[in-house]
Amino acid sequence: MTAAILELIRNRRVLLDGGFGTELIRRGLPQGACPEIWNVERPDVVREIHAGYFNAGSDAVLTNSFGGSVIKLASHGEDKRCYELNKAAAIIAGEVKPAGCFVGGSLGPTGKFLHPQGEFAPGQFEDAYAEQARGLHDGRVDFLLIETQYDLREALCAVRGARRVTDIPVFVTMTYNRTPRGFFTMMGNSVAQCFEELEQEGVPVLGANCTLDSADMADLVKVMREKTSLPLIAQANAGKPSLSKEGEVSYSQGLEDYLRHIPQMIENGANIIGGCCGTDPEYIRRMAAVVK
């Protein structure tokens, strides 16, 4: 089944899901709480969100495991439960997966830094990602998506850690900011540098997610397409987040404006399209009509 996702990508455009954290918060997850805990404490809610995206037209959804690495979970005092929480995340999504659809295991950044900026060595990052990938693999995900990576060195650690424990496909999306000099990650990695090194590592699908709205993401896809012939993932934010006095998060790009740039994203070479922060099943439903 795992190679089937690559087959689908070769045959047609693929639609991923949208934002997950915002959907959990809408259903009562307290701000700052550990989302992965709900894989064991409120699996019904997590299942309902996945089902909502599949019903909206997603070909694949990503597990509720974005912050599920040992290192990230340690900030909630839950590092010992890494394997359990990731395996549960995979199982829940698999329970509502329709025939012909897929579940991707989400591995987000650790939130920490490697030497010399931070206190971690590459081997520690590899170990953390390996443990997370092991749980997702054992929960039967179809592929892994190492996502929202702002440091190429960390992304490479994640790929190597995942590869130690599973042979399912491992995709990578970096997070870029738009600067006067072009698109760069927070750590100063260019698109060309990221793609060259990740391709050398044998990653079969590359792309970008988060930070950028759909207009900027469409421009980034054009740049990415110039750097690789591999399938490209594009998951834009619904603009920039802002916090109201009541603590409500809203995003600057409305649905209609967001959708306006999806055809350009496709024309510029995106093969796999989804939403990121601020998008919901309605965005995906409307995107399905464009993408498919």
Gap between the Cα atoms of 71 and 93, Å rounded: 23
pLDDT category, 247, cuts 50, 70, 90?
Answer: confident
C-alpha 49/C-alpha 96 separation (Å) is: 10
CA 96 to chain centre: 19
Radius of gyration of the chain from its Cα atoms, rounded to whole angstroms: 17
- Provide the residue ranges of all domains of the chain, joining segments of one domain with +: 2-291
As assigned by CATH, the class of the 2-291 domain is alpha beta
Average pLDDT over residues 140-152: 98
Residue 292, pLDDT > 90, answer no
pTM: 0.97
Residue 2's pLDDT is 57
List pLDDT tens digits, range 83-137. 999 999 999 999 999 999 999 999 999 999 999 999 999 999 999 999 999 999 9
Question: pLDDT digits over 16-48, tens only?
Answer: 999 999 899 999 999 899 999 999 999 999 999
Instruction: Decide: helix, strand or coil at residue 21.
Output: helix
Single-letter residue type at 202: G
* 4 alpha-carbon distance from chain centroid: 19
Q: Indicate whether 243 pLDDT > 90.
A: no
Percent of the chain whose pLDDT exceeds 70 = 99
pLDDT at residue 1, as a whole number: 46
Asked if 62 and 20 touch (Cβ cutoff 8 Å), the reply is yes
